[in-house]
Structure 1
Amino acid sequence: MPRTDTGSRVIAAPLEQVYDALIDRAALTEWLPPEGMTGRFERFDPRPGGSYRLVLTYRDATGAAGKSTADSDVVEARYVDIVPGERVVQAIDFVSDDDSFAGTMTMTWEVTAVDGGTRVDITAEDVPDGISAEDHAAGLASSLANLAAYLEW
């Protein structure tokens, strides 16, 4: 069954800096991987119609349940829409032999200036059945916390 997951957080940083961190390769490598993972891009082209391939690797694979290998998740993503200073929309596919991770998930990252900084809202639509709601919520919250730590004054 298709599912939508969301997350949000106010980041104590100007909107321009927060938005830039959503489309900058070095910044994304630093803050996007959830807690317990590292990330590296095999390619990166941040423009509408562009794409990236991201390999997320568990630091400790002992309890890991990687989607692509025992210790990693590989993500193929396409930029569907980029509106500077407003939103980034990506179509995301997990590279996996497990059918429960099949299908394209659409992730929309929206930024809005608010008192005290920038509100970041994430909407993940058509989340694959193999990703538990609890784990996905924790991953989204972790990435947002990492973004705050990366940017906050």
Structure 2
Amino acid sequence: MNHRLRAARAAAILAVGISASATAVAVPAAAAVTDTPGVPPALMDQCGTGPLVTEPSRMILTCGDANNRLTDMSWGLWSADHAIGIGTEHINMCEPDCARGTFRSIPALVYLDQPRPLPNGQGTRFSHATVVTTDGVNSYLP
């Protein structure tokens, strides 16, 4: 799926995700759903460190400085090919600079995709994140 189609798909469900987050309606707890029978779900870690997990409650989006991260994640789908969830994005506004900046928090819809094989041969790891907020659509390589 190309980036434009993925962004359009994510934008189409943004209202539902933002509404659900704002009204405290939880996304149903997602079992590790697999698109292809026999293929285990992809995993995530924190910037190449820490344990590999499914459905993390927190994620760092900018690994170099952690000035953009997600918290309070609830996942509606987690599979071998992609994951969709809602949570809160915390963005350092870097005013007057990033070291002294304050964080802005906004509801976010998150789409993970592009699973890549792990070096140890023990599954795959999502290598791309698309985050949709009221500010727009942004892509990350977490």
Q: Fold match, TM over 0.5?
A: no
More helix by percentage: 1
Instruction: Pick 1 or 2: higher relative contact order, CA cutoff 8 A, min separation 6.
Output: 1
TM-score computed with the length of structure 2 as normaliser: 0.36
TM-score computed with the length of structure 1 as normaliser: 0.34
